[in-house]
Amino acid sequence: MTEYRIAVLPGDGIGPEITAVATAVLQQLTAAHGGISLDLRHQDAGAGRWLREGVAFTDEAYDACVRSDAILMGAIGLPEARHPDGREVNGDVIFRLRFDLDLYAGIRPVRSWPGLTSPLSAAPPVDYVVVRENVEGLYASRTGGCNVRDEVATDTIVITATGTRKVSEQAFRLAGKRGGRPRDGRRLVTCVDKANVLSSYAFFRQVFDQVAAEHPDIGADHVYVDAMTAYQVQQPDMFDVVVAENMFGDIISDLAAATVGGLGLAASGDIGDRHGLFQPAHGSAPTIAGKGVANPIATVLSAAMMLDWLADRHADPAAAEVARLIDDAVGDVLADGRVLTPDLGGTAGTAQVGEAIIAAAIRRR
Ligand code: ATP
Ligand code: MG
């Protein structure tokens, strides 16, 4: 039996509540399976620690992340926790992990769930993954590319061949594992850019095309980012895996989440060649913190993604089986519709949803 060491960072706001549910689901279902065991090591990091001790992320907590097999995070940051220059302290944790561990691919799955009404309920089924380049692009400007003078502000977009190649390869690898797009089962990677206007995006597309040529078994196409937003609403079944530069990936993945039931369901993984960090796509939602009403499903699905990623890396079918079980159990709870948090129109609490997921999983075994 393989044991994985998981660094758990519950964080701030609703973070501890939703993380408690995700870790309970992980512990109970790995125990029930019997073929995999998790050593969960909790770390105190984020705005709360910064407010109490003046440091958001100690070297000790960081080292625990580096030494783990994977990192599971709730949500980091509170609006009142800011450095004197206005930057939120959540960057001390998120950016340190993302950049120092080279978590260059942001993976955000988006799919419609049977039984759940959403803005796109009447549209074709949605089941695609956004792969967001995570460490360069326009947001890389924050580390030295911006310049604000009296009347002009400029930012610099950085697209490297290596970075684009790596994130494109992640996208094709993912497409190879999936069942293709809902429309016709075709395996397809779509490059989202603005190659008609900016040469940096034309370069992104050119490198993407080179990687695509190395994967003749998987289709490849391109969509401009403006057209993309319309397709996401009107023809979402045309997508399988979507790859985009950092800022575009950020924007289209938020839109994607909104089309299928909102942030409470949006899982994400930030992965590199050696490390992986899994957390819900939403933030710490301080206005509903402590009330026991936060939707834990995005975090539970992120935990399932973590197991899937471990399964791949370690060729461990047991981890993949538990990941699949968690996913199916979430599907059962959503389809049943009786135990849902208020963001999905229900009246259940955070812990109740967790219990319903575990019960549904046990019933499936
Ligand atoms: P960040 O800056 O960290 O991205 P944000 O300002 O975008 O944070 P979120 O914390 O993501 O905000 O939350 C925005 C709103 O969405 C919250 O106020 C809350 O109403 C809702 N929300 C987010 N996550 C959840 C959740 N898990 N369950 C229920 N509602 C949620
Ligand atoms: Mg946000």
pLDDT digits (tens, 9 = 90+) for 298-342: 999 999 999 999 999 999 999 999 999 999 999 999 999 999 999
Cα 285 to ligand 2 centroid, rounded to whole Å: 9
Residue 123: predicted pLDDT? 85
Residue 174: predicted pLDDT? 97
On the question of pLDDT at 117 being above 90, the answer is no
Q: Give catalytic residues, as residue numbers.
A: 139, 194, 226, 250, 254
Cα 91 to ligand 2 centroid, rounded to whole Å: 13
Q: Could you read off the pLDDT of 230-269 as tens digits, one per residue?
A: 999 999 999 999 999 999 999 999 999 999 988 999 999 9
- ipTM score above 0.85: yes
Average pLDDT over residues 84-92: 93
Ligand 1 pocket: which of 19, 282, 340, 343 to mutate (most atoms within 8 A of CB): 282
Average pLDDT over residues 128-144: 91
**Closest ligand 1 atom to Cα of 299:** 27
276 near 314, Cβ under 8 Å? Answer: no
Domains and CATH numbers, the chain: 1-104+276-365 (3.40.718.10), 117-259 (3.40.718.10)
How far is 351 from 365, CA to CA, in rounded Å? 22
Q: Which residues line ligand 1 (CB under 6 A)?
A: 14, 18, 77, 263-264, 282-285, 287-288, 294-295, 298, 343
Which ligand is the nearest neighbour of the Cα of 19?
A: 1
**Closest ligand 1 atom to Cα of 14:** 27
Which residues, other chains included, contact 47 with Cβ-Cβ below 8 Å and sequence gap of 6+? 11, 12, 56, 76, 77, 78, 80, 81, 88, 89, 90, 284
List the beta strands (DSSP E) in 95-211: 105-111, 127-133, 147-148, 153-154, 188-193
Residue identifier of the C-alpha nearest atom 7 of ligand 1: 283
**Closest ligand 1 atom to Cα of 77:** 3
pLDDT averaged over the chain? Answer: 96
Residue 143, both tokens: 């580390």
Cα 284 to ligand 1 centroid, rounded to whole Å: 6
Which ligand is the nearest neighbour of the Cα of 76?
A: 1
Residue 140: predicted pLDDT? 86
Residue 82: predicted pLDDT? 95
Which ligand is the nearest neighbour of the Cα of 73?
A: 1
On the question of pLDDT at 1 being above 90, the answer is no
Long-range Cβ pairs for the range 80-83 (8 Å, 24+) = 80/47, 80/51, 81/12, 81/46, 81/47, 81/50, 81/51, 81/56
Residue 121: predicted pLDDT? 86
Residue 143: predicted pLDDT? 79
**Closest ligand 1 atom to Cα of 342:** 29
Residue 281: predicted pLDDT? 94
Residue identifier of the C-alpha nearest atom 12 of ligand 1: 283
Q: What is the 3-state secondary structure (H, E, C) of 191-246?
A: EEECCCCCHHHHHHHHHHHHHHHCCCCCEEEEEEHHHHHHHHHHCHHHCCEEEECH
Percent of the chain with pLDDT over 70: 100
Instruction: Single out the residue of 169, 188, 168 nearest to residue 178, CA to CA.
Output: 188
Residue 315: predicted pLDDT? 97
Cα 111 to ligand 2 centroid, rounded to whole Å: 20
261 in the Ramachandran plot: left (φ > 0), alpha (ψ -120 to 50) or beta? left
- Burial grade of 82 (CB within 10 A; 0-12, 13-18, 19 or more): middle
Q: Could you read off the pLDDT of 170-227 as tens digits, one per residue?
A: 999 999 999 999 999 999 999 999 999 999 999 999 999 999 999 999 999 999 999 9
Residue identifier of the C-alpha nearest atom 20 of ligand 1: 285
Amino acid at 34: G
Residue 147: predicted pLDDT? 87
On the question of pLDDT at 162 being above 90, the answer is yes
Cα 107 to ligand 1 centroid, rounded to whole Å: 19
